[in-house]
Amino acid sequence: MLAVAVIAGILFVWSLLAHRLSRWSITAPIAMIGTGVAMTAGSDPPLHFDLDTTVFEHAVEVVLALLLFVDAVEVPGSVIRRERSLFVRLLAVALPLTLCAAFAAGYLFFPDQPVWLLALLATVVVPLDLAPTATVVRDRRIPSRLRDVLNIEGGLNDGILSPVFLLCITIGVESHATHSDYTDALLTAVVASAWALGTGFLVGSAGGWLLGKSWTHGWTRATAVRLGVFAVPIAAYTLSVALGGNGFVASFVAGVCFAPSMRHLPESAVYMADDLVTLMALALWFVFGQIINEAFTVDMPASVVLYALLAVTLVRLVAVLIALTGSRVPWGDKLFLGWMGPRGVTTIVFGTLAVIDLPTRQADFIAQVMVMTVLASIVLHGVSAEPLARLYARAGRASPVRSPAG
């Protein structure tokens, strides 16, 4: 209960000073991390979380499932249609190139690690999350087009990477437990994805259609609709898992299938799910403070630090520049999109699930890389956000109005 009281207190204090703190790029996740580190440090800390329990594992999974659903539902269709070519380049070209570059860098820095672990590591360090640098998507000095693209890309690439991550971790767990080849693990992952696609499509489409009809005919109220929307990803996730499917993929697919129904629902329909996933994610940022302390209880190898720095800088930057070659996007915007790729909740969730499922030695390795990647991203992307916004303001390209996606 003390942990809940502390988290609630931090949220309240931050809510009182949010505008002033934003001037120093202190977002709610950063405040949570700082307090989490302080409250879980030392040999006898005031707070300590048991991260190896099934309850914690399921809680982390639910956070990501809700996040994937909300991201899919809130994607503005008009922006995707307007920037279709740009999204194809970023998601179909830059994202695979980023994964390959992260894998190649892992092979360079950690040649003694198995191939499947390096592939898993790549899926952990690549996902985007704008929460640690949330001021970027609200800063009107940055062109609204770039903010919209980053916001939507951050939501979609998590859903794309989730099945890849689960495939890698399934292969790792199966190969360690049975010492067999990857065939069985691959078949298991394919079957799980098939169940997830079917479950997500059914729950998302049916849920959206029924809620839309109910609202249109006046059979329900806005508060009840918000509860219904929140129930959709939970139903998709739990049903998929019960059938042996991939819960993350089911939640994301449910969000994609549910999204067209949003035009028939009140604007506030997704607010409850959005607020709850935000609160749960902030609690996870607090727990991340303990993960940081545990990662630094042993020496941090220089190779881990260098890999993390490379993962949050050149790995994405080079991939995006290659993907946008030949496009009409100005060079300054290409550099901005390539540089501004912060890591956050999805990296923490993927890394935490890997730590729970893998043997101790490999789990410690993943934990150290995850911690250094997120910390490096918070520092580098957080510090650079304000200077980049000033450059756009000087260039006279600031947005005249606030972007809807921001």
**Cα 93 to chain centroid, rounded:** 19
Nearest partner of 273 among 65, 70, 72, judged by Cα: 70
Kindly state the tokens that stand for 101. 């570059």
Residue 151 or residue 117, greater confidence: 117
Ordered domains of the chain (ranges, CATH) = 51-394 (1.20.1530.10)
Closest CA relative to residue 124, chosen from 293, 352, 342: 352
> What pLDDT sits at residue 318?
95
Crossing angle for the helix pair 95-109 and 144-178, nearest 10 degrees?
50
pLDDT in tens, 109-142: 999 998 989 999 999 999 988 777 667 777 788 8
pTM value is 0.87
Q: What is the pLDDT of residue 406?
A: 36
The number of CA neighbours under 13 Å toward the Cβ of 371 is: 24
> Mean of the pLDDT values across residues 159-165?
87
Instruction: Please tell me whether residue 168 adopts helix, strand or coil conformation.
Output: helix
Question: Residues 67-99: pLDDT tens digits?
Answer: 889 888 887 777 788 888 898 999 999 999 999
Whether the predicted pLDDT of 397 surpasses 90: no
Give Cα 282 to chain centroid, integer Å.
Answer: 13
Quick one: pLDDT at residue 300?
Answer: 86
**How far from 350 is each of 71, 158, 293, 342, 369, CA to CA, in Å?**
17, 10, 18, 15, 12
> How far apart are the C-alpha atoms of 139 and 388, rounded to whole Å?
11
pLDDT band for 105, please (50, 70, 90 cuts).
Answer: very high
What was the pLDDT predicted at 401? Answer: 44
Q: At CA 338, angle to CA 335 and CA 340, rounded to 5?
A: 100
